[in-house]
Amino acid sequence: MTDFFVDTKFHVRYAETDAMGIVHHSSYIVWFEEGRSEFMRRIGLPYSKVEDMGFYFSVLEVNARYISPAVYDDIVVVRTRLVEVKSRKLAIRYEVLRDADGKLLAEGNSLHICLNREFKIARMPQELFDLLKRHCVCEE
């Protein structure tokens, strides 16, 4: 399929900065999560609904590479792409851009495992799998 991504945009909060005067590196991990929340909403299945269905996309791995700092009041864009979908796993890629000039500030990835209510690894329901697969920039 052609490229598919979801952008979510917000202001940097003061609480997200640190004593260096810039955004603390852990805040980007929270922003990635906000990126995938918006991704799920936009494809029509908010993650809160996934949990209502009895499943979690638990985080197995996360990584981030920091390129240029964001500061308080910047508008940042989190660009989110689903890059891999398996029956029990998914991988997501993120770019954080400064809205004013499009500069790439950070990028990262997260890997998720599908768990059921008992926190056991589980196949995701077929409809969920199909929906994700349709919105995946997967390489086969």
Applying CB under 8 A, among 13, 88, 103, 123 the residue interacting with a second copy is: 13
Q: b vs e for 124-138, b when ≥16 Cβ sit within 10 Å of the residue's Cβ?
A: beeebbebbeebbeb
87: exposed, middle or buried (Cβ count in 10 Å: 0-12, 13-18, 19+): exposed
Residues 3, 7, 18, 101: which is the catalytic one? 18
Region binding a second copy by CB under 8 A among candidate stretches 18-26, 76-84, 97-105, 131-139: 18-26
Question: Which of 4, 5, 7, 10 contacts a second copy by CB under 8 A?
Answer: 10
Any contact of residue 4 with a second copy (CB under 8 A)? no
- Neighbour-count burial for 12-42, b at 16+ CB within 10 Å, e otherwise: beeebbeeeebbeeebbbebbbebbbbbbeb
Report d(CA 38, CA 91) in Å as an integer. Answer: 15
Reply yes or no on whether 18 is catalytic.
yes
Judged by CB under 8 A, does residue 66 bind a second copy? yes
User: Tokens 């995946």 appear where?
Assistant: 136
- Closer by beta carbon to a second copy, 34 or else 140: 34
Q: Which residue's CB is nearer to a second copy, number 62 or number 122?
A: 62
Q: Is position 116 an interface residue for a second copy (rule: CB under 8 A)?
A: no
Q: Chain centroid to CA 61: how far?
A: 12
Closest CB 72 distance from a second copy, rounded Å = 6
Candidate ranges 66-74, 85-93, 95-103, 128-136; the one touching a second copy (CB under 8 A): 66-74
The residues annotated with a catalytic role in the active site are 18
